[in-house]
Structures are given as structure tokens and as C-alpha cells.
Structure 1
Amino acid sequence: MEIARSLRAEARRADERRVLVLSGGRKRTRKRAATALEAAEIPWSGTTLVGPEPFLDCEQYPQSQASELLGRTRTAVVLDVHDELRPNALGTAVGAVDGGGLLVLLTPPLDEWSERRDAFDETLAVPPFEVGDVTGHFRRRVVETLRAHRGIAVVDVDTDTVERDGLTDPPPRRQRQPPEPPADASFRPESYAACLTDDQVRAVRAFETLSAAGHAVVVEADRGRGKSSAAGLAAANLALDGQHVLVTAPQYRSAAELFTRASDLFETLDVAVDRDDADPPRRLAVNGGEIRFEQPDSAVESLGTADVVIVDEAAALPVHRLRALLGAPAVAFTTTVHGYEGAGRSFDVRFRDHLADSDHEVTDVTMTTPIRYAPADPVESWAFRALLLDARPTVDPLVADATPETVSHRRLTTADLLADEHLLREVFGLLVLAHYRTEPGDLARVLDAPNLSVHALLQDGHVVSVALLAREGGLSAETRARMYEGGRIRGNMIPDVLTTQLRDETAGVPVGRRVLRIATHAAARSRGLGSKLLDEIRDHEADGIDWLGVSYGATPELVRFWRANGYRTVHVSTSRNDASGEYSAVMLSPSSPAGRALADRHSEWLCDRAAAVLSDPVSDADPDVVRALLRSVDATPNPALSEWEWRVVAGVPGGASILETDPEPFRRLALRHLVAPADPTALTDREERLLVMKALQARPWQAVTEELGFVSQRQCMRTLGGAVERLTRLYGDTSVQEELDR
């Protein structure tokens, strides 16, 4: 196949990548793919097939396992999308192709592709919608960009027609000039000789600061810039100096390149290395130092044995783990800016404040020059545009003066977004900031999913705040029954939780809108724009729905934000959210009698079970999170203490009885005050934290004493006694007052 041979030859000459699109019937495209790879002289050992069936003599993964390619490079990747196109698989496949290589895309006829509905579309057809309600805008976008971008050949195999040859006639590859090593470097010269770009030299040089405690390094880069290689060269030097380097990442494959480069440097230096049997290894010991890999949760537990911690693909880890890893003497974070392991800008938003507040002196490095292919690679440009990997909010000056009075609200339809590429990029750029990891699949959902809607505030036409909402509820009796019996119902998160976990089969009857993400431009935060957007959403969405809702990893600040905007807690998860590391809260804001009934009964049920939940599965929750969540419950718990229970409670302030005699009445009294205080000023913040930790969470006295900073356990107990006395006088009747006065 001459076109494949020409594409490969040009790709190799320019050190760039090329795309070969084979469109048409399934059998013909598969047959042509084999012919193309043979003509391009690409060995099967350098090829990966991503598709449903292994029709080529090479390794094969279904699209659901395309992530196996992360951190690897291949000469060719064949992506078969006849059955489905998973956007994440497309992005991963593109990223795995090396300079001089080919991405071979097998598609249905391009003019028909966007009108077809495939297996990925079925995931977007959340009840009560059906697959026919899903649009094909994302695939249409892919087709349009394939036909418009440089370096992409399109062949119709049914008619044997070359629509585009994809040849760009680029200048020959310029020989890379070896970067200059720093004159005063402390790492070994061979480390800098192994660097391929000036960016890598700067990154390795920054890692030198980790030789001393109290330093942190942050390296941000797009994929293929060599950040993991730089970290590997640095880790090798630190180990040679006797340091114990602990490496962690979401998966080992993310850090495999680090160990490979460290091993290569040891070999160059002819140093004897003790290594494990893994390939690449997970532990390298040399000169009394070592480099070892551990999963993130284990790494946190092992900080005491490490001199330096290197966190690869840090943006894909929850913030609470990143904060815990700051406990290392010296620490480095590498993260992808535009990629599939995580979003570097989100890393900045969610974690930078914690890093700045730490005791570490921070060195920042940004790497821009690609290593695996030439800087002008047209395939990277195509992937960034097609998948919006480089989408970003508008520049600061254009929205810096935005206030709730100057902005305008707009409900953005898919047609609006498709008609204005700049608007789409600004919207998606802000949505990236609203979540720790935004993937290509999220773009497809925004463009195609029938249950999603987008609202935005604009300042002179530029997006300053955006929210993504999902329609939920309004489910048929059959669907609700299936959900109640444990069946998975896509896209109905709040009805699902209230139905399956809380056994409310009617929770799926009311119709709601769940706020999936909400974000305000960094240049215009803390001005009430988020609240303004929620008000506009309420005004424009309230007709025809019963509730607005949200579910998120709870922090005191976020809970207060949602409470101030009329949302009330109806459920708290009993395990931490994998993404945020926090306990998730479900909050509702009713907009109809049916929505009010739903919120009321779940608020009451939450009060009924809160004491038991807090003393067992949620006993380690931050007391300020607990205080904020309880204060956001729209109910008034009845402590319902018996005469005897009131006597037990009243005996604590004077020391005649102790809390451990019967903790239950103390829990009910604490819950009454923390949810609906008769006098919000009756207790100090510290006393409320003490009430949460001891009365509700049943933590040991010594642990509570230390965490709340009491000088002794006796003082802690006396403080609790004083708080109990005030609550007893506040909520008890005359007889209880008399008991206290005895």
C-alpha cells in the first residue's frame, strides 16, 4: 500500500507522526490495515491493536483496556472503532505512537459514522433517555478534524479512493543539538549527558535541590516531554549518594520509565546494582541508597523510611494523599498538563495552596519541548484540537472586572458550543478546573449526552463561570424496581444512592438536576459569581423539575458554599471518595412539593442514623466537616431523653457521672444542638469540635486531648462537662435544671 509507505517514510524523515484513516466496511479496513503495516515495514513487535478482536499478529487490547498503553511507546497503534469509539482510547492511542510511527484508524464510512450509534453512545443514554436520543456531534468533530489537519491520510477502502494523502513535505529532521550541562552541577556529568533537551537539563538541575531536606520540586509538562526520564536520572544520583528514594504513582506503569532511566544511568556508570526480578524493576539498591516503588497508600505509611519522595503523575492522586506525602523530608511532584493521567491545571487549583503552606521551599519547572517526536508534530496538534486537550479559560484581563452585576447568564445549547469554537474551549477549559481529572470522554458527554445541560455567566462574551448539570430521576416503575434490587442504572447518581443505600424506592420518581461541576475563573473568584450562577440555574431550570442537587467531597468551605445557596444535606457517604479523599455529601434544594417531600424524609432519616454512622464508619471524619454537614441538615432532631437519661447527662458537669456510663443520650443531645441550635453561640468552635469527636465519634480521650490541644486529659474532660451543662440548661426542662443545681 503505497500511501502507507510514503506516510511512514515522511514521518521518519521529519521525526513526526502520521495518521492513516482507513474508512469503509469492517473486513476491508482490517485487511488493508495488515497490508499498510507491511508496506510501511513496521514489525508486529512494534505494533499494538486496540479493538474488539485480535485480527493482527501483534499484541491486542480492547478499548476498555487502552490505558495499558500509558507510559509506553509503539511504532504503530491500530485503533478499530467500528463497534465503538471511546474518546479516552483515541487519546491514549495517539499518545503511545512514537516519532516516525503511524496511528492507523479503522472507521465506518466517514460520511455515515456520526449518524451511527455505537456501544459508547449506549453509555450516554442514561434513563429515561434511549440511545436514539444521543447525538453524534463528537464523532462529527473527529471526522471534520481528520479531514482538515495536516499529516492525516484518509482512504475509502470500499471505493479504493484516496481522499487525502496526508503528506506535508516537511523539512528533514534537524539533528538535535546536545544541551549544555550546568557548569556547577552537583549531579554526575553523565546524568546531563543523557538529557535530550534543555528542558530536561533544567528539570534534572531542579531535582538537585532534593539532596537537602526542606525542598520540593514541581515539574509540569505535556506527555512525551521526558519528565519521568528526568526524575529517573535524579533518583539515580540521589541513590548513589546514599539517599532512600521512595517513588509512587497511581499505577506502577506511570513510573516504569523512571526506573528504566535510573537503571540505564547505573549501567553507564558501571555501578553494581541490587535489583528485584520485575521488568522494569521496582527496587534498585546501590551504594547504601535505594529507589523503590510503592502504591500511594503504602507510600504514605512509609514516609519515615524515605529521604526523598517522587510522585509521578501527581494530578491523578487525591489531594489528601498529596498533602500526606508533604510529610517527606524532600518531595517532588511530576504531572501532566494536557493528558490522560490527570490535568496539571487542576493540580494547581486543588493542591498548590497546601504546597505553599508547607515548610518546603518550592522549585517549579515547566517542560515544553517534546522528546519522542519533533516539536512541529502535526498529529499532536490534531489530537489537542479534536479532543480539546489544550482547552483553557480565557485570559485573566478579559474577566478580571467581572461581578454579579456585570455578567450575563446564558444556557448554552450544543448548537451554541458547536457554532463557536472559542466559546467551547473556554467552557471546557473551566470544566477542566472543576475536577481533578477531565478526560476526552467528558468532551463527548458535553456534546452528545441527552441528559446534560450547560449554564454559564459571560463577561463581554467571555466565560467567567460555568456549570454542568445532569437530569436525574423521572424513572419508570420498572427502572426504579431494578435499581431498588441492586441493578446499576447509569447517570442517576442521587436517585441511585437514595434508593439502593437508603431503601427509598420512590426516590427516583421526582425529576431533578444534579450539578456535576461548577467553576469560576481564577481571576474572578470570591465575588459571588458561583452563587449568581446557581441563582440563574434555579430561575431557568426550576419549572418542570422537583429538585436541584449536588454530590461532592465535603470540606467545610464547600459545605458552607452550598448551604448558603439553599442546598441541604440528606446523605453522607460511609467511605471516602476515591477522587477527593473526602467523605461525599449529597445535598438537595427542593423546587416543588414532591422535591420537598423527598428532601424532608431523607433529612429526618439522616438525623435518625447520624449518631450511629458518626461513631462507626465516619468516626475519622474532620470534625469541622461534620459540624458543617450537620448544620446543613434541614430538620430539628428530637433528643427524646428519658427522665433517667437526663439525670445521667446532668450528672456529668459536676463529676457525679461519666459519659461512658451511657453515651447514647449525649449523642442525641449533641446532635440536637449541632443540627438545629437553639442558641448558635452557646458553644465555642472548639467545644463543638470536642462534642463531635467525643460524644458523636467516640474517639479515645487521649486522642481528642492531643488533637484539640488541651494541656491535659483532665482539662479536656472538664471542658466537655462545661459544654454538656450549657446544652442541658438550653434543652432540658425545669426538673433538669434542678438536677444540675443539686
Structure 2
Amino acid sequence: MPFRDAVVALLEEARETDQRRLLVVHGDRDSCLDAAYDALDAAAVDAEDATLLTTREGLRYDRLRPKHADRLLGTTRDAVVLDAFEEFSANAVGQSVGAVDGGGLYVLLAPPLGEWSDRRDDFDESLAVPPFTVADVTGRFRTRLVRTLRRHPGVAVYDADAGVLERDGLTDGSAPRQSPEPTVPAKHAFAESAYASCLTRDQSRAVRALERLRHPGNAVVLEADRGRGKSSAAGLAAGALALEGRDVLVTAADARGTDALFDRARELLEGEDALDGADDGSLESTAGGRVGYESPADAAAVAAEADVVVVDEAAALPVRLLERFLAASAVAFVTTVHGYEGAGRGFSVRFRDRLREADRDVREVRLEDPIRYAAGDPVEAWAFHALMLDARPAVADAVADATPESTRYRVVDAGELADDERQLGEAFGLLVLAHYRTEPDDLARLLDAPNLSLRALAHEGHVVSVALLAREGGLDADTRASMYEGARVRGNMIPDVLTSQLRDEDAAEPVGYRVMRIATHHAVRDEGLGSRLLEEVHRELCDRADYFGTGFGATPELLRFWRRNGYRTVHLATTRNDASGEHSAVMLGPTSRAGRELHDRNAARFRDRVGDALSDALRDVDPDVIRGALRACEADPEPLLDLSEYEWRVVVGASFGPGAYGAAPRPFRRLALAHLLEGSAGLSAREERLLVGKVLQARPWESVADELGFVSTRQCMRALGGAYRSLVGEYGTAVAREERARFEQHD
């Protein structure tokens, strides 16, 4: 069949079924671009309805560079052409494929498919992190991608060099079922225009469920795959709530991702002639209501002040942050189950457990019907499979009996993983659980990056726990010098932090293995499998590494986990992550003399600088995070005890006599740090939080007393005096003991 006729037939089937089709054109780049133009011309696609993702310029269609494919998120096109010859990435596919409307065409231009995996491009160069080179990068991701293209329904393949149509992509299937039309409920509280704007019955149901947000104590969960209109439903509800005079706080990891929500809210208010004002990220209604955006960390801090909170793309946020939104009067969590915005599994599995325990009336709604195209779309199914957007851990029943003793430790070969779809799905599904921002590029890194490797525990053939490791360090002197002078060296997170930020020019010389992610199946959490996996990793690699390391958003629970497994704090970032609101911790577990020296000097530097940071950049960090980070630091506390005789008299006077804490804060701060490092004075958790909040973070007495549950600031002050009496007893010198005796003899 001639190429143009094949394109026409492919598009006719797409339009008859209101689905999309995928056309792969491979060969010489110029030949592929010419064929793409022929395809768009044969399909009669208007220039304004098509986008070419390419680095080539001078084309008559709308053009974006592939690295800017994220600009297509939330948009629709009749056709999208992705030129994979330059700037190709898995992310570019994930970001662009969803923009094609029903009856449309997604076109992928590629080098000859039989040779593609052997070619190296920009993305491969990004995987060649020092000391590796691009020659060390493999092509497994593209090998697997080509396999899916050749096997999947709805995918046509054309060899532009030979002029041969290798697959016509026709499915010969019957038209899919039609989605039921939207309806206006017989009884509804929201304005009727909210329902009139719905495009599917699913959307109508979602908006109806969101009416529950009018009453305190309710939580609504909207889940859907991409393209089901969940954010639009949330926007219609937000507009309807603002129309009633309510304050609606909207948040999402990326503000751009809320465009659809704000567009629908604005349209509703304008349609009701009730839009009183609109600024960037804010809509005001004539009834005094508001729809406003705040970043996740900022929104969590003020959630209790809003009438309603809407968390869009909730799967892209960590569970610990999502929990804070439960402080809101009413809250909606809107999330993608499979898709580029977030795989949703951490939300579905872990956060739902917390939500059930919360004092909330929870309503869950799943939107199934696509809006942009009909159900059963083969391009959606291909994208889910090719990018592992539908990756799932093993079913719970298959691993429910797993114990540390029943599992087998495995070094997982990336080549074996690429050829075993079940194993890949189980392993990648667990990695998705381990991090809230897993993206398609992570699949390519897992399969092709030379610095990454995977370790796992298997139970009866199923993956139950995984650890993704990154080899770091071992860099030559020139690379270390450039890093010290400010150059970014990819794939070496811990050496980069210690070198460029903390000024340790030799930090990138030792070789380390950083645990990038570790995850255990939700059915067997808290059974010791993660610790067993780390123990095996340490045993296997200790002779090949100077240290093991990790970096993560610090929480008390995670700090305890890593400390139990032999990792020690050397850094706590002074800036928080915009999405999670957490401060990152860096921890090391040395295995050699070089690793021990690296650890010891950086632990000592952390001890020496953290006191100043706690009263400045770290002033608002959770005291339990500070307690955990310091307790996990193995620096010698002795240098902190260099108090002069005068300083000891000040401390004893404030603890046992009429002295004042504020007269000379330095000795109080140093004693607090010394205790928090080693915990030898027997203080309670509450007393330690008091040391952190008042002495180290210098918070006002009133706020510290309130946070720690003291009935008055006076009681809080007395408690601080009691804590320092214990510290004097533990660390006090002869001068301190003499001073103490003077007061005790009068008691």
C-alpha cells in the first residue's frame, strides 16, 4: 500500500473509533522529516493543529524543541510529531503523547529501528556521568521500545529509506462503546453551570462528589488516568465554592499543572457574571470567595485557614506532606493513577492507609471515561506499556508470607531486566513506590546508565524489596578541581554537595555507593526486609567501596531507619525542597580508611556549623528532625564542652540559682548540642525538643510553650532549668560542681 494511502487508512480508522494511532517513520533524518510532512498533508491536518518536536528550524508547523515537550501538557493537537534524532528522551514521549486528540496521529521519527539502540545521543551523554563515558552507556531502553513498537496494536511502521510499509497499524476493531452523556443531578448544591460544563458522566459524578467539600470534616479523592478531566472537575467545583463565598486553596507540585483547574474555575465565575478580580494564581468572586494557589510547602502551613484545600496531582507529592493537608476543614486530593504527572502508587497504597485513620468522612471517585479520545485507545495502552506507567509490584497474596529468612538476595542484571517484563514491572513498580516523582526517564536510566545498579530480595520468584544504587566518586584530580570551582558533575550527588557546597576538595576521590531509592512491598512493610537488603548490599560491595551513602528529605522516621542501618549524618541542607517542604539529609557509612576520613572530617564540620544554622536557616525545622539528625551524627561532642569557668557559672546560676538563660546563650547552646549528639544525660524527648526549639532555634517562649504543651511560659522556663540541671550533672567540671554546691546547700 502506498505510504499516503496507508496514512489515510490509519486516520480513517482513528476517526471512526475516536481513538489515536501511532505512526513510526524510521531511516535517514531528512527522509523521515519528508515522510512526516507527507503524512500530515495526507491526513489534511491544519498547520495550527499540529506540533513538531524537533531541533530543526524553518518548519511551517508549530515547533518546540523535544526538551520543551512539557509545554504540551494539558493541551490538545490533531497531530504531534516527535523527532527522536536529537534531544530524544522517555520524558519527551510521556509529555507529548497525551496531547493528541481522538482521531489524531502521533508520529515518531527515528533512526533505522535495527540500529537505533546502537546509536548514542544527547540523553545517552547525560547518562555518562563521570568517571564513565558514553561508550559505557547501553541501549536497552531503545531496544525494548522498538520491541513494543513492532508488536503493539495501532502502531504503523514505515521504512522511509526503503519506502516500505512494514506494519499498517490497523486494528480492524469495532467502534468502542460510547461514554454516557453528562447529566445534571436532580438535587444539587453547586450552580447548574458547573454540571452543564461537564463533558462526561464521570465528570458529573466527580463534581457531585465534590459538593461534600461544602461541609467540614469531608475528604474527597478523585483518581483517574490522564485525559479523564479530573482537574477540570476540580476546577468547576472550586469555582462553584468561590461562587458561594468560600476560600479555596489550590496547590500542586508544579503551578503550571493547575492551569486547567483555574481555567474551568474562571469560566464558571465568568459565566455566572461573578468574577470580581483575577491575578496570577488567584480568582476573586463577587460573593467574597477566592480560588488561590500556593506552593505545597506554603499551602500546608496555612491549610487550616482555608475553607477548602484542593491538592492537584497529589501523587507528585510525598505522603508526609499530604498528611499535613488533613488539617484543612475540607480537602480534595486529585491524582493521576498512570501518567507523566506521577504514578500514583505511593498515594494509592501508603496515603490511603493514613486517610482511613484520619477523622474524616472520605468519598472516593474513579473517573474511567477518557475525554480526549474513546476508551480502549491503543496509543494510550502502548505508552503505558512502553514507559512502564502501569508498572505494579507483585500482587499482595504472592508475597504476603515473605520474611527476611524466606527471601533470596539478587544482583539484578539490567539486560535480564529489560527482557523480563514481569520482573521489570515488579521492580520498577516498587521503585515508583519509593519516590513520589518517578518519571519515564527513570526507566531509561535504570536500563542504560552505567553508574546505576539494582539489588533485590525475591520471595518465591517475586520481587519484594529493591535498592537502586549509584556509584559515585573516584574522580580524577582535574574533575575534582572543576567541581570545587563550581562545575556541575552529573551523577555524583554526595561528592558534589561535600565539594561545591561544603568546600571539601577531596570528597570526590573516595568511591561510594549511594542508595538512591529503597522500597519494600507494602504487604510486608515493617518486617525487616529493607534492613536485610541493605545488610546484603553492604556485605557484597564493602570491598569495592570506601563508603555507602544516602540523601533524602529528612523525617524522624527515615533518620532512625538509616541510623539503625549504620549511616551517620554529615549534612542537613539549609534550604527546603519546594515540593516536599523537607530539608535534605546526607548520611555516610564508611567502609575503608579513606571513607572513615571523609566521614570524620565532614561530621566534625557539621557539628561545628549546625549550631549557627539552627538559629537562622534551620529555625523552622521540626525539632524531631533536628534531634534525629544530631543523634545520627557520630562527631565527637568533646570540642563543644570548652566552656570557660565564667560560662559554667552562668549555666549553673540559671539552672540552680537566680541567673538568666539569656545572659550568655553560647554555653547553653554548646551543652545542648553535646547532649543531642550523644544523648547521655537521660533527658526526655520533650526536654530535648525544648533544647532544640528554645535554645538552638531561638524561638519565642510563647510559641515553644504552646508547641510542647506547657500550661504557661513560666512552666516552660522551669522545665528548661530542669533540663540544664541534668546537663550540668553529666558534663559539669569541678568549677560547675562547686558553683552548684553553693546553691544546693541553701535548699
Query: Would you say same fold, with TM above 0.5?
Result: yes
The secondary structure found in structure 2 opposite 1:508 is coil
1:676 maps to what in 2? 678
Instruction: Report the CA distance between 1:302 and its aligned residue.
Output: 6.4
* Range with greater deviation from structure 2 (58-67 or 345-354): 345-354
The secondary structure found in structure 1 opposite 2:709 is coil
Correspondence for 1:125 among 125, 128, 132: 128
Q: Which whole-Å CA distance do the structure 2 matches of 1:610 and 1:305 have between them?
A: 33
Per-residue deviation, residues 223-245 of structure 1 (Å, max 9, x unmatched): 01121222233234333434343
Amino acid of the structure 2 residue aligned with 1:208: E
Q: Which whole-Å CA distance do the structure 2 matches of 1:608 and 1:301 have between them?
A: 30
The secondary structure found in structure 2 opposite 1:690 is helix
Q: Which whole-Å CA distance do the structure 2 matches of 1:647 and 1:247 have between them?
A: 53
Per-residue deviation, residues 109-129 of structure 1 (Å, max 9, x unmatched): 111111000000011001000
Amino acid of the structure 2 residue aligned with 1:659: Y
The secondary structure found in structure 2 opposite 1:326 is helix
Q: Report 1:251-330 matches (<5 A).
A: 251-262=254-265, 271-274=272-275, 283=283, 285=285, 289-296=289-296, 299=299, 306-319=306-319, 322-330=322-330
The secondary structure found in structure 2 opposite 1:507 is coil
* Range with greater deviation from structure 2 (36-45 or 128-137): 36-45
1:107 maps to what in 2? 110
Q: Is the 8 A contact 1:24 1:158 kept in 2?
A: yes
1:500 maps to what in 2? 500
Q: Is the 8 A contact 2:473 2:511 kept in 1?
A: yes
Q: Is the 8 A contact 1:11 1:100 kept in 2?
A: yes
1:78 maps to what in 2? 81
Q: Which whole-Å CA distance do the structure 1 matches of 2:192 and 2:616 have between them?
A: 56
Instruction: Report the CA distance between 1:605 and its aligned residue.
Output: 1.6
Distance 1:277 1:5, change over 3 A: farther
Q: Which whole-Å CA distance do the structure 2 matches of 1:62 and 1:324 have between them?
A: 38
Correspondence for 2:668 among 666, 682, 704: 666
Q: Is the 8 A contact 1:569 1:633 kept in 2?
A: yes
Distance 1:283 1:406, change over 3 A: same
Distance 1:154 1:522, change over 3 A: same
Q: Which whole-Å CA distance do the structure 2 matches of 1:726 and 1:187 have between them?
A: 61
Q: Which whole-Å CA distance do the structure 1 matches of 2:256 and 2:20 have between them?
A: 23
Per-residue deviation, residues 156-183 of structure 1 (Å, max 9, x unmatched): 1111111111111222355443256544
Q: Is the 8 A contact 1:346 1:437 kept in 2?
A: no
2:610 maps to what in 1? 610
Q: Which whole-Å CA distance do the structure 2 matches of 1:626 and 1:389 have between them?
A: 37
* Range with greater deviation from structure 2 (633-642 or 507-516): 633-642
Distance 1:2 1:354, change over 3 A: same
Q: Which whole-Å CA distance do the structure 2 matches of 1:180 and 1:718 have between them?
A: 65
Q: Is the 8 A contact 1:13 1:173 kept in 2?
A: no
**In the alignment, does 2:449 pair up with 1:449?**
yes
**In the alignment, does 2:36 pair up with 1:36?**
no
Distance 1:692 1:579, change over 3 A: same
Distance 1:243 1:621, change over 3 A: closer
**In the alignment, does 2:683 pair up with 1:657?**
no
Q: Which whole-Å CA distance do the structure 1 matches of 2:284 and 2:26 have between them?
A: 47
1:151 maps to what in 2? 154
Instruction: Report the CA distance between 1:734 and its aligned residue.
Output: 2.8
The secondary structure found in structure 2 opposite 1:506 is coil
**In the alignment, does 2:714 pair up with 1:711?**
no
Q: Which whole-Å CA distance do the structure 1 matches of 2:255 and 2:671 have between them?
A: 49
1:427 maps to what in 2? 427
Q: Please, what TM-score do these two structures have when normalized by structure 2?
A: 0.94
5+ residue gaps, structure 1, are none
Q: Report 1:410-559 matches (<5 A).
A: 410-559=410-559
The secondary structure found in structure 1 opposite 2:507 is helix
The secondary structure found in structure 1 opposite 2:543 is coil
Instruction: Report the CA distance between 1:79 and its aligned residue.
Output: 0.5
Q: Which whole-Å CA distance do the structure 1 matches of 2:279 and 2:657 have between them?
A: 62
Amino acid of the structure 1 residue aligned with 2:658: A
Q: Which whole-Å CA distance do the structure 2 matches of 1:686 and 1:737 have between them?
A: 26
Instruction: Report the CA distance between 1:15 and its aligned residue.
Output: 0.7
Q: Is the 8 A contact 1:155 1:164 kept in 2?
A: yes
2:141 maps to what in 1? 138
1:12 maps to what in 2? 15
Q: Is the 8 A contact 2:253 2:579 kept in 1?
A: no
Amino acid of the structure 2 residue aligned with 1:274: L
Amino acid of the structure 2 residue aligned with 1:741: A
Q: Which whole-Å CA distance do the structure 1 matches of 2:124 and 2:469 have between them?
A: 19
Q: Please, what TM-score do these two structures have when normalized by structure 1?
A: 0.95
2:6 maps to what in 1? 3
Q: Which whole-Å CA distance do the structure 1 matches of 2:68 and 2:586 have between them?
A: 31
The secondary structure found in structure 1 opposite 2:145 is helix
Q: Is the 8 A contact 1:725 1:740 kept in 2?
A: no
Distance 1:118 1:201, change over 3 A: same
The secondary structure found in structure 2 opposite 1:542 is helix
Q: Which whole-Å CA distance do the structure 1 matches of 2:420 and 2:612 have between them?
A: 52
Q: Is the 8 A contact 2:632 2:677 kept in 1?
A: yes
The secondary structure found in structure 1 opposite 2:80 is strand
* Range with greater deviation from structure 2 (450-459 or 574-583): 574-583
Q: Which whole-Å CA distance do the structure 2 matches of 1:303 and 1:604 have between them?
A: 39
Q: Which whole-Å CA distance do the structure 2 matches of 1:107 and 1:588 have between them?
A: 43
Q: Is the 8 A contact 1:67 1:92 kept in 2?
A: yes
Instruction: Report the CA distance between 1:542 and its aligned residue.
Output: 1.2
5+ residue gaps, structure 2, are 743-747
Q: Is the 8 A contact 1:83 1:118 kept in 2?
A: yes
How many correspondences in the alignment?
737
2:646 maps to what in 1? 644
Amino acid of the structure 1 residue aligned with 2:151: A
Distance 1:264 1:688, change over 3 A: closer
Q: Report 1:371-386 matches (<5 A).
A: 371-386=371-386
The secondary structure found in structure 2 opposite 1:581 is coil
Q: Is the 8 A contact 2:269 2:285 kept in 1?
A: no
Amino acid of the structure 2 residue aligned with 1:526: D
Amino acid of the structure 2 residue aligned with 1:246: L
Q: Is the 8 A contact 2:25 2:35 kept in 1?
A: yes
Per-residue deviation, residues 486-505 of structure 1 (Å, max 9, x unmatched): 11000001111111122111
RMSD: 2.2
Amino acid of the structure 1 residue aligned with 2:478: E
Q: Is the 8 A contact 1:319 1:581 kept in 2?
A: no
The secondary structure found in structure 2 opposite 1:20 is strand
Q: Is the 8 A contact 1:283 1:293 kept in 2?
A: no
2:745 maps to what in 1? none
Q: Is the 8 A contact 1:34 1:56 kept in 2?
A: no
Instruction: Report the CA distance between 1:294 and its aligned residue.
Output: 4.8
